[in-house]
Amino acid sequence: FLDRSDLIARTTSTVSKNLIEGALIVVFVLVLLLGSLRGGLLTASIIPLSLLFAFILMKATGVWANLMSLGAIDFGIIVDGAVIIVEGTVHHIEQRIKKNKGDFTSQEMDELSYKSSSMMMNSAFFGQLIILIVFTPILFLTGVEGKMFRPMAFTFGFAVLGALLLCLTYVPVMASLFMKPTSQEKRTWFTKLEDWLTKLSNKMMSSIFKVYKPLIKGALNFRKVVIAVAVLLFVIAGFVFSRMGGEFIPKLDEGDIAMQIIMKPGSSLSESIKISEDVENIITSNFPEVKTMVGRIGVAEIPTDPMPMDVVDSFIILEKDMDKWTSAETKAELIEKMQEKLKTIVGANFIFTQPVELRFNELLTGVREDVAIKLYGNDLDILATKAEEMAKIIKTVDGAADVRAEATDGLPQITVNYQRAKLAKYGLSVKKLNQYVSAAFAGANAGIIFEGEKRFDLVVRFSSAYRQSIDDLKNLFVDLPNESSQIPLKELADITYGPGPMQISRDNTYRRVSVGVNVRGRDVESMVEEVQQKLDAELDLPDGYFIEYGGSFENLKRAKERLAIVVPIALFLIFILLYFALNSFTQATMIYMAVPLAAIGGIYFLAIRGMPFSISAGVGFVVLFGVAV
């Protein structure tokens, strides 16, 4: 009913489409701006070759091809070194043609290609090396963020390394073979096409230069104003960034909905099935966008995902073509309307998320919501009471949805409290009475039955008719020692029916209870910060009890702390490389100024799009710093 291969196929299809379109755009721009069809195609040939190099190393090192690893490949960065070398070669060829030396021998073309490559290799080599260095901080990420982003860094690093090796070897050779100008006697339609492209490229560059020339002259004439504006923009960007929220990673729209139906503790299987069927009827009859809905109760034969009978995992499979939707325009609006319709179901709470995201959150923190707020302590009753207080406070926070305190008690159970004075009077022991109760209701081995070479345990217990109510337990007769008489269990113990603990959760030997919170319409970081402020002000905890914040917020915090250490180191290495490439501290500093200024546009566009800062955005900024220099 839930085919995850469909999600994988859709995401990989998106990546493949973007890679193909990106490659075509790069080829078009290269041909247009270089003014040479051969030069553009030669430069673009670096793309498939470097990708093949990356795939070989991915196979050798065990790096998987996924949305993160393949989606990070930037063709513009890959062809950067080749563009420098090919452009230098085209420039030298044009200079020779202007001197009426358009006829090239193979030896002359080899020398020109060697000369051009040698002159430009310093810039190409250091440019690619800087790109490799800026990816080193990503390799130091740990935990979930390391699992997600390290394959991306490896894949992109492999591709850039392949492009670097190709720039040193392949590009000069191919330039000497295929960039040789055609003599006037051998001109064809292809050479005429190249001539037309050259003229078009020159006109385009001339137009760009005409616009750029007065701008650069004006900037040079008003240097102080330009510097003041740049500093002001940078300060404003810093202020905007400080007010910007944060999240671990942007949510991937899986196309389907996972809904948890949570009933009162101790609900029977029949009651869970009835409520699940009622929910399914309401959703399928009111929302034509739902293709199918399936509920799951309990656990499989291999209990890797234990669940009580009072929790139902429902998977709502939606129509993927949103143009066919009629009830709502977005998934968020659809969930709101579903919640409104489900208010008619009494005695059940509903939590909405996504199938893969649900499992991902549960594996991280044991809580299926986005954020897990964990309370640690010793007394289960105090933990349960304080968890409910926390849930009430958190519900007042804007953006907090599906707030649910972990149920630790309320499971209906029969409690037997033995009257030890009476047990001593009759000469009975607690162990013997427990054996009676266990044998009567759970069963006990009474012997072995042999059938040929097979053998089976003989288990005895009460028939189902005598295992239906608490009275059956009260009327359980126990043999008295040294006597032929019996006595009912109710004469020896207080047998009551009441709520008991459902589960006892521990982290690092500490008892804990958690409050799960989903985040809607707001970033995770600012919401958790507001929750922290409210809990500190309104929640009174006994001594020895403390709160920790987990889930995606914990991952975000850990990744930011790690990046705060390794990113400055990478930026320092970039400056060192610039210094060695230019042999000038002043020039290296001037170029290095592009690093903070390059972040201005990224911060502004994040703010314009209403997107919070995420680790994905942080990785993008790291790459940007390398490209900027």
Find the CATH number of the domain harbouring 464. 3.30.2090.10
By 3-state DSSP, what share of the chain in percent is helix, strand and coil, each rounded to 5?
A: 60, 15, 25
Backbone angles phi, psi at 289, to 5 degrees: -70, -20
Residue 611 forms part of a structural domain: no
pLDDT bracket for residue 411 (50, 70, 90)? confident
Looking at residue 275, what DSSP letter applies? H
Domain limit, last residue, from 181, 205, 237 = 181
CA distance 354 to 256: 6
Residue 519's H or E segment, with its range, is: strand 510-519
Q: What is the pLDDT of residue 351?
A: 83
Strand partners, 445: 459
Q: Which 3-state string (H, E, C) describes 126-194?
A: HHHHHHHHHCHHHHCCCHHHHHHHHHHHHHHHHHHHHHHHHHHCHHHHHHHHHCCCCCHHHCCHHHHHH
Q: Which of 97-101, 328-332, 350-354 has the lowest mean pLDDT?
A: 97-101
CA distance 607 to 244: 7
Q: What is the pLDDT of residue 7?
A: 67
Residue 299 scores a pLDDT above 60: yes
Return the SS3 of 237: helix
Of the candidates 82, 116, 95, 103, the one whose C-alpha atom is nearest the C-alpha of residue 180 is 103
Q: Which of 144-148, 419-423, 593-597 has the lowest mean pLDDT?
A: 144-148
pLDDT bracket for residue 367 (50, 70, 90)? low
Give me 149's structure tokens: 């982003």
Looking at residue 407, what DSSP letter applies? P
Give me 23's structure tokens: 């490659």
Asked whether residue 292 falls in the same domain as residue 434, the answer is no
Residue 416's H or E segment, with its range, is: strand 409-418
Asked whether residue 428 falls in the same domain as residue 287, the answer is no
Residue 21 scores a pLDDT above 70: yes
Asked whether residue 85 falls in the same domain as residue 2, the answer is yes
Helix axes 46-61, 143-168, angle to 10 degrees: 130
CA distance 584 to 243: 38
Asked whether residue 30 falls in the same domain as residue 176, the answer is yes
Q: What is the pLDDT of residue 232?
A: 93
Asked whether residue 349 falls in the same domain as residue 418, the answer is no
Residue 27's H or E segment, with its range, is: helix 4-34
Asked whether residue 64 falls in the same domain as residue 172, the answer is yes
Asked whether residue 1 falls in the same domain as residue 130, the answer is yes
Asked whether residue 463 falls in the same domain as residue 320, the answer is no
Residue 266 forms part of a structural domain: yes
Asked whether residue 158 falls in the same domain as residue 292, the answer is no
Asked whether residue 40 falls in the same domain as residue 168, the answer is yes
Q: Looking at residue 60, which CATH number applies to its domain?
A: 1.20.1640.10
User: Using an 8 Å Cβ cutoff, are 543 and 420 in contact?
Assistant: no
| Mean pLDDT, residues 7-14 taken together | 72
Reported as a single tens digit per residue, the pLDDT across 315-325 is 888 888 888 88
123 or 231: which leads in pLDDT = 231
Round to the nearest angstrom and report the end-to-end CA distance of the chain: 50
CA distance 312 to 267: 11
| Mean pLDDT, residues 185-214 taken together | 79
Strands 409-418 and 493-501, by their bridges, are antiparallel
Residue 13 forms part of a structural domain: yes
CA distance 529 to 527: 5
Residue 582 scores a pLDDT above 70: yes
Domain limit, last residue, from 115, 149, 181 = 181
Residue 21 forms part of a structural domain: yes
Task: Work out the number of other CB atoms within 10 angstroms of the CB of residue 43.
Answer: 28
Q: Looking at residue 277, which CATH number applies to its domain?
A: 3.30.70.1430
67 or 346: which leads in pLDDT = 346
Reported as a single tens digit per residue, the pLDDT across 50-63 is 889 988 998 898 88
CA distance 137 to 570: 7
Q: What is the pLDDT of residue 2?
A: 62
Residue environment code for 59-68, b if the CB has 16+ CB neighbours within 10 A, otherwise e: eeeebeebbb
Give the domain extent around 170: 1-181
What single letter denotes the amino acid at residue 20? I
Residue 551 scores a pLDDT above 80: no
Residue with tokens 């490896």: 154
pLDDT bracket for residue 185 (50, 70, 90)? low
Asked whether residue 171 falls in the same domain as residue 62, the answer is yes
Helix axes 189-221, 223-243, angle to 10 degrees: 100
User: Using an 8 Å Cβ cutoff, are 170 and 85 in contact?
Assistant: no
Residue 581 forms part of a structural domain: no
| Mean pLDDT, residues 435-444 taken together | 88
Q: Which of 184-198, 258-272, 488-502, 515-529 has the lowest mean pLDDT?
A: 184-198
Of the candidates 248, 269, 294, the one whose C-alpha atom is nearest the C-alpha of residue 523 is 248
Domain count across the chain? 3
Residue 261 forms part of a structural domain: yes
447 or 503: which leads in pLDDT = 447
Residue 59 forms part of a structural domain: yes
What single letter denotes the amino acid at residue 513? V
Domain limit, last residue, from 479, 501, 523 = 501
Length of the chain: 629
Task: Share the mean pLDDT of the chain.
Answer: 82
Q: pTM of the full predicted structure?
A: 0.68
pLDDT bracket for residue 100 (50, 70, 90)? low
Residue 9 forms part of a structural domain: yes
Share of the chain above pLDDT 90, in %: 2
pLDDT bracket for residue 228 (50, 70, 90)? very high
Asked whether residue 71 falls in the same domain as residue 175, the answer is yes
